[in-house]
Amino acid sequence: MAKRVGVDKWLFGVVLLLTLFGLVMVFSASAVVAKSQYGSPYYFVVKEFGFAVAGLVALAVLMQVDYRRYNSPRVVFPAMAVTTLLLVSVFAMHALNNTHRWVKFGVFTFQPSELAKPMSVLFLAYFLQTRIHKMDDWKGTVMRAALPPLVFVGLILKEPDLGTALVCAGVTVAMLYLAGLQMKWIGLAAAAASPVMFYMLWMVKWRRDRLIAFTNPEADPLGKGFHIMQSLIAVGTGGVRGLGLMEGRQKLYYLPEAWTDFIFANISEELGLLGALALVALFVTFGYRGLRAAYLSTDPFARFLAFGLTTAILIQAFFNMSVALALVPTKGITLPFVSFGGTSLFFTLAGMGVLLNITREID
């Protein structure tokens, strides 16, 4: 198939729009709190802008690098080893809010779990490309494919970060299914994982409180149900057209983390149903163009890589929006491209550079 002259302009445009929209909404959601706590309304957005610039530079560079360069054990296995080392090293760092999620290099902080997502995709794409017809081999193929991502999931759960772990697990299952894994094996794996999920959700007190609050937030609106109630108030207050950019009220010390985990609720309040649907439409367009690239790729490695990179973002976006709408229990997970989170934004944009390079090879 003839090589394309350029990348998928629709995909590139959507990624750029989501990133710019995210910067605007991070400023809108955080300006008042940033002014009060740090003396400048630009505190959060300036930090996010720096990571956005770095991420876009990474995107521009990786967009020019032939994706086939990553299809090598000399790339895949050292990358997996470094990621594992970084995930382990977080436990040597001081805890922040009773969690070990960050590695600090002087003034620079880094969240290795964000690297684990694209590295899981890279490993699975490399491993599964030649084993499409061997997915009935449970020990030789399925277990060997799933083990490294499961190690990542276990380390991320230990931090603890259930949301990111679920994204990694979801991408792993999706890629194995794309490779031809039968649903019965996925069902057995889900059954085997259920005791772990039961322990993580019910035996850990603060998660159990979140789960109980999710089922009946009105029972304790100022305590355990506070996050859910404030998010729903923000969404409902926005109505169809919203209160206007910068005019949201719930971000004024009512809606917790309005610029990160609950930014979709703030978007719904300020831009209304129309703004929220426009954002959803951008993610749908992104998903269509990314999955289209996977479908049209004749190279199995490219197909798995494009599918995994696209699916990871779609799963994470679904979780974040669902939390804001009280469709799933509250968990700390960012909205890709949009929420405040430098490490997440940088690696998401870098991954898009790889995806865009793949689109050069399709019609």
Q: What pLDDT digit, counting tens, does each position of 54-77 carry?
A: 999 999 999 999 999 999 999 999
Q: Identify whether 310 is part of a domain.
A: yes
The set of residues, in sequence order, having a beta carbon less than 8 Å from that of 77 and lying 6+ positions away, is none
Contact yes or no for 295/178 (Cβ under 8 A): no
Give the position of tokens 């521009």: 60
Q: What is the pLDDT of residue 2?
A: 45
Print the domain residue range for 297.
9-191+224-359
The one-letter amino acid at 210: R
The values of phi and psi at residue 120, to 5°, are -65, -40
Q: Identify whether 206 is part of a domain.
A: no
State the total domains in the chain.
1
Q: What is the pLDDT of residue 83?
A: 96
Q: Identify whether 201 is part of a domain.
A: no
Least Cα distance to 294 among 285, 283, 305 occurs for: 305
Q: What is the band of 1 on the pLDDT scale with cuts at 50, 70, 90?
A: very low
What's the CA gap between 146 and 165, in Å, rounded? 14
Q: pTM value?
A: 0.93
Q: What is the pLDDT of residue 4?
A: 57
**Three-class SS state of 121:** helix
Kindly report, residue by residue over 208-250, the tens digit of the pLDDT: 888 888 888 887 787 788 888 999 999 999 999 999 999 999 9
Kindly report, residue by residue over 273-321, the tens digit of the pLDDT: 999 999 999 999 999 999 999 999 999 999 999 999 999 999 999 999 9
Kindly report, residue by residue over 109-155, the tens digit of the pLDDT: 888 999 999 999 999 999 999 999 899 888 889 999 999 999 999 99
Q: Identify whether 213 is part of a domain.
A: no
What's the CA gap between 46 and 214, in Å, rounded? 34
What's the CA gap between 349 and 361, in Å, rounded? 20
Q: How many CA atoms lie within 13 A of 305 on its CB side?
A: 26
Q: Identify whether 150 is part of a domain.
A: yes
**Three-class SS state of 99:** strand
